[in-house]
Amino acid sequence: MSFLTDPIIALFLSLALGFLIGKLRVGPIQLGGTCGTLFVALAIGQFGVRVDPDLKNAAFALFIYALGFSAGPQFFTNIRGGWRYGIFSFIEVICVLVLLAIAVLLFHFDVGTASGLFAGAATESAVVGTASEAIARLAISTPEIEQLQANIATAYSLTYLFGLIAIVVFTTQIAPLLLKIDLRKEAQELARKLGSTDDDEEQAEGLPAFVGRAYRVGGAAGQTVGNFEKSRGWAIAIERLQRGSDILETTPDFLLEPDDIVFVRGRRNAVIAVRDRLGDEVPVPQGTNFTLATRDVVLVRKEVFGRQIRQLRQMASAELERGIFISHVRRMGQNIPALSGTILQHGDIVTLYGPELAIERAAHELGKPVPPGERTDFIFLGLGLAIGLVIGHFHFKIGALELGLGAGGGALISGLVFGWLNMRNPMRGGLPPAAAEFAKEFGLATFIAAIGLSAGPDAIDLIMEYGLILPVLGVLVSFLPALVSLFVGTKLMKIEAPILLGIIAGQHCSTPTISALVSQAGNSTPVIGYTVTYAISNVLLPLMGPVVVGLVMALTG
């Protein structure tokens, strides 16, 4: 077993086995690769293997920069657009800090154990890194620093799993029970309010969302094409028709005549439904088809912020808007319902679908087209990381306590700014979503594995000292802020239940929770609330690492 003492082998073995364990699922609960990696690293760490601290620090900087880069557009959008939902991230921070202070006073936790409890119960792995950096700056010996950092990893591993279980069960089971609602019905009703024409938000599995059909004009004769399309809520488009033997291009003022054969394209349900208004379905005539395309666009125009999808048509000429549909909306890497009532935000990535030339014109009117085959801009990436690490070197004192962002906090702030700059001009500074996701996953998992390997020999001592106290506290510290948010959201702010539960999942930065919640709700309406608090909490919680260290030192000093 001597190969286990090789740090590189131990590191990648921890990643492989950790992500394998992380795939295991019990009901709606999935451990996840990061926590699985920590468990494996703690076990392998019993053999005394150590990973170079520089590798650990570089991995964490890469992770937290990518985290900030991904969150930047939505974070600054939420600052400009108001903090109505963002207040829940502050509820999370305040509640967890208060509960942590009580736990420290009752159980006399050291600063490392308390930091691990905060990170695990809030299900925010980045706190492990920012708290570790803050502890490294304490005026204590190196062995004491290493011991406290080891305690962070152990306490995190003991509380994360139970904190995750608590928040998943709360949002999917306990909260709907307390509210006396059927979550699936509430989500369906919300989707209808947003413009869904189906009982379910999504199309039937395996069927395309957009289709084309040909109909012989009957009852709609005498109407203009524009009026007919408007009467169907712009969910369909008639762009060509056959009159006699001629194939004609249509305009909004084009008058429909009896026996015209029109080619109708649009959302499946809307296209099928027009048969009752138009007439019998017939084979599609030759020459009525045309090249269709899709294009991803980053919304950056000021006029877009806060508008519903249906209102985008008011921003374009009648000729430009016809036949163009929004098929998908992505926010913070999550799909949100692309329904007519969905409110758009700066930084949203919308997928336009329609005729190729019209798509190109519309893309430039709405925002910045995402470059096809986008590549990582390593100049931008390296410069952003370097600036962030420089920012992290600045510290300030409050009394005898020295505080600073540290390398992690600096890289996070830099990532936020550089992500926002990339949103403004997608042609520069690219970090494609897949690359950003890899940087986050690999960077965090590598950092957590290094922490776990170093903590391995000390983990047993902490477990023996506190036993079941940490898991129980993990549940309580995760559960109580969610309960407060549920009360505030329902009684004071009157937020729709699916959105509110998504908000609670986001304030915990919990991707497994939103996945379970979407599955339980039957559609993606909870994601609307999730993306707001997720963006804010992903910034606030990591920045709390030094605050937690300072708070605990003040309480125990």
Give 343-399 as a DSSP string.
Answer: BP-TT-EEEEEEEHHHHHHHHHHHEEEPPTT----HHHHHHHHHHHHHHTT-EEEET
pLDDT at 161: 79
In-domain check, residue 147: yes
Q: Which residue in 535, 537, 554 sits closest to 546, CA to CA?
A: 554
- Kindly report the number of other CB atoms within 10 A of residue 176's CB atom: 20
Buried b (16+ CB within 10 A) or exposed e, 320-350: ebbbbbbebbbbbbbebbbbbbbebbbbbbb
Amino acid of residue 113: T
What are the respective helix, strand and coil percentages of the chain, to the nearest 5?
60, 15, 25
Cβ within 8 Å of residue 450, ≥6 positions away: 11, 41, 51, 53, 55, 56, 59
Beta bridge partners of residue 396, listed in sequence order: 403
pLDDT at 191: 84
pLDDT at 116: 92
In-domain check, residue 246: no
Element (H, E) at 535: helix 526-556
In-domain check, residue 286: no
pTM of the full structure? 0.76
pLDDT at 81: 57
Tell me the C-alpha distance between 324 and 114, whole Å. Answer: 54
In-domain check, residue 371: no
pLDDT at 457: 66
> Quick one: CA dihedral 481, 482, 485, 487, positive or negative?
negative
In-domain check, residue 281: no
Cβ within 8 Å of residue 470, ≥6 positions away: 113, 117, 155, 158, 159
Domain that holds residue 139: 2-189+376-556
Cβ within 8 Å of residue 311, ≥6 positions away: none
For the chain, residues with pLDDT lower than 50 are: 199-206
In-domain check, residue 411: yes
In-domain check, residue 162: yes
Tokens linked to 246: 């001629």
486 neighbors 96 (Cβ within 8 angstroms): no
Tokens linked to 259: 């026996």
pLDDT at 212: 82
How many independent structural domains does the chain possess? 1
What are the E-state strand segments in 16-74?
25-26, 29-30
Amino acid of residue 72: G
Tell me the C-alpha distance between 452 and 445, whole Å. Answer: 10
In-domain check, residue 91: yes
pLDDT at 199: 39
pLDDT at 203: 46
Tell me the C-alpha distance between 82 and 342, whole Å. Answer: 17
Tell me the C-alpha distance between 280 and 162, whole Å. Answer: 59
Tell me the C-alpha distance between 71 and 59, whole Å. Answer: 19
